[in-house]
Structure 1
Amino acid sequence: MIENNTTAASNASTSLQKAINVNIMVVQVLIGIFLSINFLLILTFFRREIFYTNARYILFAHTLLADSLYLILTNFLLNLIYFRITLPAWLCLIICTVLLVLTFVTPLTLTAMSLERYVAICMPLRHGELSTPRRAIHCIFIIHSLSSIQAIITDSIFFASVPLAFYVQYRLCTVEMLVIHPWQGHLTSAISQFYFLVMSVTIVFIYVKIMSVAKEVSVENNTSTSKGLRTVILHGFQLILCLIQLWCPFVETAIIQIDLRLYVDVRYSNYIAFILAPRCLSPLVYGLRDDKFYHALKEIIFCGFRRIHLFVR
């Protein structure tokens, strides 16, 4: 019986390891694809003056850069944990702080982009005055300032709670390392929920306002209004996914006490659905649905293929 139990445990461990190997490979492929698309979109942005002199496209490029950095860092930590590679605590602290900031950069930028669409549709006479490149840069500074509040609070508690010797210790790098006290998790969760409540209310307000304008505009302007409305809906969907991400650690903590294999599957699904997915919708919302950006991107891709063909010949 002991031998049977040992064999069963060994088979279960092997099966779990194989599942993790497959999951890791799938994540690497998806992130490689998403980063390649983001790179092409960023290249397109800097190749056309019409994009980097327009507030809407500046915010879009900012989202692409933030999402790309977020994907690189989360994938880096994922591989470190998978291969059981430790880092000095001070280096892990820097990486996790950047991740905490980037967690809020994307949804706040989406909210700002929705506000830009609100001004363009509901306040067209003031759109040229309010949506300028200078104001877009100011908006980015405000976004990063607001995104840093939770990171500053978390780091301050961490600095006050651990001794100096802790920073030179080598540990597996996870964001959970920064949570020292049980109440700290509740505090950060409350801050996150407040942020996303404000952003959700803002998105709903913008949706209602654009809907009211859509009923009043002429048929000629209805196409633009409907497209702006669909853009706001997609931004709202991205925000919902980001909001669900905040609840994932609570669900995973409860599941790991029940079944390790189920925990691995749930955490993998959460990573794909609530971390990768919302940050990969931005290229769809503005990169491929926007006519100017789509044609510029297509032109760059075709020029690249022509150069490769001429070089091969």
Structure 2
Amino acid sequence: MLVSFSLFLCFMAIMLSVYYTNPHMHEEPRYILFAHMLVNDTIYVILGLLLVFLISYLVFLPVPICYILVTVSSSSLKVTPYNLAVMSLERYVAICYPLRHTMWCTHQKAILSIVAIWIIALLPNVVDFMILCFSVPSNYFSLYCLCSRSVFMKTQVQDILRTLVHALGFSLVGLIIIFTYVKIMVVAIKIDSGKGTASKAAKTVILHAVQLLLCMTALCYNFIEIYLRKYLYMLPLINFFFFMYLPRFISPVIYGLRDEVFFKQIKRIVLCKALRTSPDSETS
């Protein structure tokens, strides 16, 4: 587990270093949004692994600290699909409204989109916190607890809110991705033979759909945890690896290696490191 987690961090570090060392990427909205997705997925995986270890080793934390960790983790889960929706819309504007793309899709608007994404993702947690405050005794936040999302589910209203948020959020993102794909494909059929920019954009949107499906596998985590935990001691780690870690690792790998700019830069970094290590191995 730690080896795979180290590989994940290493790959994310390479991808982010490519972004930060190429100034022209800082002005491209799609690269800004992709870098944001990398940072968000890294936060999600780190917090997820931390929570898994805390539960596995029965570590009790103060309720306020635990609630903050759970809130950031659950918000970052929702941020990824919202980010994918915005990335799909950016490709839609680039292909269907090319003359307006530079006006509508700017560096400033990409940053505003990221802020809006986090506000929308945090709003359900704010409502959940208000419901929790009305449902627990006054000394509740001075207690210690085993840190997990289920600890804070005190009422049925919270369960309904969580289900509605996930159902509406993922459904809306799915509709946006389908809409942008259809519109881009219509343009692709009209203007090129299958190898042009429009076709590449359509394939990118399809990739976003695959990423959305991978994100949705995280929803299986709690269901499996509830019904199978008593049968498998290592279930939290197994659950984390298949439903939280792998989807967050596969998506950036596919997207990063498929993008020409990222692929060239990653190849250059790997080759440079290989050349640096080869003289050391020869001298030793």
Query: Taking structure 2 as the reference length, what is the TM-score of the superposition?
Result: 0.90
CA contact (8 A) 2:48 2:244 kept: no
Matched, 1:260 2:260: no
Tell me, in whole angstroms, the C-alpha distance in 1 between the residues paired with 2:34 and 2:195.
Answer: 24
Task: Specify every segment of 5 or more residues in structure 2 that has no aligned partner in the other structure, as ranges.
Answer: none
2:131 paired residue number: 157
Tell me, in whole angstroms, the C-alpha distance in 2 between the residues paired with 1:187 and 1:283.
Answer: 30
CA contact (8 A) 1:63 1:282 kept: no
- The one of 201, 204, 210 equivalent to 1:237 is 210
How many residue pairs get matched? 282
1:281 paired residue number: 250
2:190 paired residue number: 216
1:86 paired residue number: 60
> What SS class does the counterpart of residue 84 from structure 1 fall into?
coil
Deviation (angstroms), 1:231 = 1.5
Deviation (angstroms), 1:310 = 6.1
Tell me, in whole angstroms, the C-alpha distance in 2 between the residues paired with 1:247 and 1:138.
Answer: 31
> What SS class does the counterpart of residue 139 from structure 2 fall into?
helix
Tell me, in whole angstroms, the C-alpha distance in 2 between the residues paired with 1:80 and 1:247.
Answer: 20
Deviation (angstroms), 1:225 = 2.3
CA contact (8 A) 1:90 1:167 kept: yes
1:54 paired residue number: 28
Deviation (angstroms), 1:47 = 0.6
Q: Deviations over 1:162-211 (max 9, x none)?
A: 23422232221101112111332122111221111111111111111112
Matched, 1:146 2:140: no
> What SS class does the counterpart of residue 260 from structure 1 fall into?
coil
Tell me, in whole angstroms, the C-alpha distance in 2 between the residues paired with 1:178 and 1:288.
Answer: 40
Amino acid aligned to 1:75: L
2:163 paired residue number: 189
- The one of 251, 259, 264 equivalent to 1:290 is 259
CA contact (8 A) 1:97 1:155 kept: no
Deviation (angstroms), 1:81 = 1.3
User: What is the RMSD computed on CA atoms of the aligned residues?
Assistant: 2.2
Tell me, in whole angstroms, the C-alpha distance in 2 between the residues paired with 1:218 and 1:77.
Answer: 49
Tell me, in whole angstroms, the C-alpha distance in 2 between the residues paired with 1:198 and 1:228.
Answer: 20
Deviation (angstroms), 1:268 = 5.3
Shift of the 83–31 alpha-carbon distance from structure 1 to 2, 3 Å rule, reads same
Tell me, in whole angstroms, the C-alpha distance in 2 between the residues paired with 1:204 and 1:136.
Answer: 21
2:107 paired residue number: 133
Aligned pairs (5 A) from 1:167-206:
167-206=141-180
CA contact (8 A) 2:192 2:198 kept: no
Deviation (angstroms), 1:270 = 4.5
CA contact (8 A) 2:60 2:145 kept: yes
Deviation (angstroms), 1:302 = 2.8
The sequence identity of aligned pairs, in percent, is: 34
Query: Taking structure 1 as the reference length, what is the TM-score of the superposition?
Result: 0.82
Amino acid aligned to 1:281: I
